[in-house]
Amino acid sequence: MKKLLLGDHAVAQGAYEAGVKVAAAYPGTPSTEITEYLSTFNDIYSEWSVNEKVAMEVGIGASMAGGRALVSMKHVGLNVAADPLFTYAYTGVNAGLVIAVADDPGMHSSQNEQDSRFYGLSAHIPMLEPSDSQEAKDFTKFAFELSEKYDTPVFIRLTTRIAHSRSFVEISKRQEIEFDYKQDIAKFVMVPANARKRHVKVEERERRLASDVNSFDINRIENGKNKIGIICAGAVYQYVKEALPDYPVFKLGFVYPLPVEKLREFASNCDDLIVIEELEPYIENALKSNGISVRGKELTGLQGELSSEKIKEIILGYKVISGKEELPARPPVMCAGCTHRGIYYVINKLKLNAAGDIGCYSLGCNEPLNAMHSLICMGAAIANTHGMEKAKGKDFSKKNIAVIGDSTFVHSGITGLINAVYNRSNITILILDNSTTGMTGHQPHPGTGKTIKNEQTHTLDFEALVRACGVNNVSVIDPYDLDMTESVIKEHIVKDGVSVIIARRPCILLDKTAKFDVAEIDNCRKCGMCLKLGCPAIRKNKDGSVAVDSTLCTACMLCEKVCKFASVKKVGDAK
Amino acid sequence: MNINILIVGVGGQGTLLASKILGNYATLINKDCKLSEVHGMSQRGGSVVTYVRISDKVYSPLIDKKNADVILAFEELEALRWADYIKDGGMIIINKQNLYPMPVITGKVDYPADIYERVGGYGAQIRNIDALEIAMKLGDLRTVNVAVLGFCAVLLKFDREKFKEAIKNSVPASTFDINLRAFEEGEKRA
Ligand code: SF4
Ligand code: SF4
């Protein structure tokens, strides 16, 4: 049976067919759908872990115990998970461990464009890269075999265009595989004496693999009439096939280790060699260091995604038709009725500096709110704010606030909070608790009391937790109540010590069946106050007055609260 | 059938479901197909594009500029933003809806008044549908996307029964009836 599957779903399907027992991940675009899909199978244990490091440790535990495990994350998540992973590369596996990592060239939904292929190299872990959904499935199954055969974790590397494209996949049956658990202290306890011995094994394995890789047929040569040879992998392979149908192509299935001997042979049959790859000159540098002369980044550059169009432009000199339209940009915005909007409005009003974090609320940095002033990585807000206070002192801190979402707080904000209390910080932290992981598509987390399968579980009590960390000043506010929000922030920010404000109201999109009333604006006096909210449902008319788009409005009534002339009212006609 | 379809609109308008239905239709007519979707942050009210390619063999999941046979625009400004993807003689189907982007809301720039004129400059046939009106009448704003598909299915002479089956395979069973009605209303406007 053939199915049109997302690349992410195909990885999940491959893991399912390979008899995977445990799947763990923290949601992150573009990798989220892997674990989401796996959670629909009853014969697999799946979970949203609180962060990628924990997910990796869960996967490692499963693998040590004898069950095949899949751990998934986006590129920046791999930074979080790197610590346990580097050591598991030393111990090797019992049952297979496969790590799916999804890069985001072009930064459709990420804070940087890092290239995960270097993790294969530096952790000594083989890495496969599929170029469509069928390969995503096949390579994942193959990765489990490799993992056990070579006693190593194995990477499947995706990019956004593979993870979030659909193509046909042949579905097969699940195979049940299980290994016995055997205690093995020398293999699994990485105290220095044991680790030194394992390091030797890692090198042996790598040499064996570096030679075997030349005979794996997932690295293949496709002949062509042209004298210039192209080397590529992943999504880029598809662009190359479309743009350069006559060129001989070396299609890599392995991106680490590279099949250097086979590539050398390919090189000897071409007059010229071009590596086409997104992001860093990873393949290019590896070939050059092996004495194979190639061109690459001098042609393609380091930034963003490629496409068949860009490849035609680069290699064939085609003129790309550039969009000639000067149009208003349409950046993403927080939804109409988003519970975060009022918070930023107040932060702005109080002229605070806000160290932010990753989530829907990151959009508070945009016009017209402009109320989030830094964003580094998951969980950084609290420790960043603490660092600011240590550099600039208590008084500076009275104009500073850390802003972090509930899911992000559980991911890696908690440690920052414990650190701040321990190190006698004087900071104010706003936890924006909308009871979900909004940006990646509303996944549950420990604060929601639901598992990935929507089963009831213990609900993390943020107030009690924060108090247990040593915070005495804790308040809970309703972010739709602007007056309350403002007075509580004012009250907390001048206090010494660490204080926490929890702004609690579920994301407006959580209840997809909800019917909303709408707001209406009568007798608008054109003061423009409501426009400062940045609500997409408010539109400015030609004459300067404003109106509400009833198809978008959710009747949060924030605009009513900021309007000085009582021009806004709620109309009952729920839609 | 070899066809490249660009679906453009504003995050949250249901472009993703529309592309899935087209992909399902490709399955039913035994063609190769690739879809490229948008997830994550850009779905929050940003400008979004999904590519649908149906042919005997499809490589790239993306469509090059000037290579789309059809553009399905769920919003007028977005029709213009992506119009340079249309082939000479292609067809641009525009849903008559305006969603103001933030720079327009804050008064920095105006929502262009001459969208149709400018889209016209790309040498494509332009067709218009008010799918929002259909969806409002049906009492479910989320059916705009399927109404646009009904309109498009007639213009592109899709196999009607197979297309309905594709909708059935793509939406939750509980919403099939309302989506089918939206589809039929869309058909009537063509
Ligand atoms: S999904 Fe929820 S949290 Fe995210 S912008 Fe929309 S309303 Fe806000
Ligand atoms: S009530 Fe006002 S602020 Fe809230 S969604 Fe409607 S228009 Fe936007």
Using the beta-carbon criterion (under 8 Å), do B65 and A327 form an inter-chain contact? no
Interfacial B residues in 87-116 facing A (CB < 8 Å): 99-112
Closest chain B CA to residue A327 = B81
Give the contacts of A530 (CB within 8 A, at least 6 positions apart).
A521, A538, A546, A559, A562, A563, A568
DSSP secondary structure code for residue A302 in this structure: S
Mean pLDDT, 10 residues at a time, chain B of 190 residues: 95 94 96 93 89 97 96 97 95 96 90 95 96 95 96 97 97 96 96
Using the beta-carbon criterion (under 8 Å), do A536 and B42 form an inter-chain contact? no
Give the contacts of A529 (CB within 8 A, at least 6 positions apart).
A562, A563, A564
For chain A, residues with pLDDT lower than 70 are 321-324, 512-513, 573-575
Residue nearest to atom 2 of ligand 2 (CA): A559
| Residues of A in Cβ contact (< 8 Å) with B100 | 536, 539-540, 549
Residue A528 near chain B (CB below 8 Å): yes
Strand partners, A256: A127
pLDDT of res. B106: 87
pLDDT of res. A169: 98
Separation of CA A534 and ligand 1 centre (Å):
13
Whether ligand 2 lies within 6 angstroms of the CB of A465 is answered as no
Closest chain A CA to residue B60 = A238
User: For the segment A428-471, what is each residue's pLDDT rounded down to a tens digit?
Assistant: 999 999 999 999 999 999 999 999 999 999 999 999 999 999 99
**ipTM for the complex shown:** 0.94
Separation of CA A154 and ligand 2 centre (Å):
49
CA angle B1, B15, B170 (to 5 degrees): 70
pLDDT of res. B117: 96
Using the beta-carbon criterion (under 8 Å), do B141 and A368 form an inter-chain contact? no
User: For the segment B112-124, what is each residue's pLDDT rounded down to a tens digit?
Assistant: 999 999 999 999 9
User: For the segment A119-161, what is each residue's pLDDT rounded down to a tens digit?
Assistant: 999 999 999 999 999 999 999 999 999 999 999 999 999 999 9
Interfacial A residues in 358-417 facing B (CB < 8 Å): 360, 362-363, 366-368
- Confidence (pTM): 0.95
Q: Is A355 left (phi over 0), alpha (psi -120 to 50) or beta?
A: beta
Best of A29, A333, A334, A433 for a ligand 1 pocket test (most atoms within 8 Å of beta carbon): A334
| Residues of B in Cβ contact (< 8 Å) with A539 | 100, 104-105
Question: What is the pairing mode between strands A45-48 and A97-103?
Answer: unpaired
Residue A328: which of B61, B101, B139 has the nearest Cβ?
B101
Using the beta-carbon criterion (under 8 Å), do A367 and B141 form an inter-chain contact? no
pLDDT of res. A131: 98
Residue A344 near chain B (CB below 8 Å): no
Residue nearest to atom 4 of ligand 2 (CA): A556
**How many Cα atoms are found within 13 Å in the side-chain-facing hemisphere of A101?**
30
Query: Measured between alpha carbons, how far is residue B169 from residues A7, A166, B90, B160, B173 in Å?
Result: 19, 15, 28, 14, 9
pLDDT of res. B44: 87
pLDDT of res. A322: 65
Using the beta-carbon criterion (under 8 Å), do B27 and A531 form an inter-chain contact? no
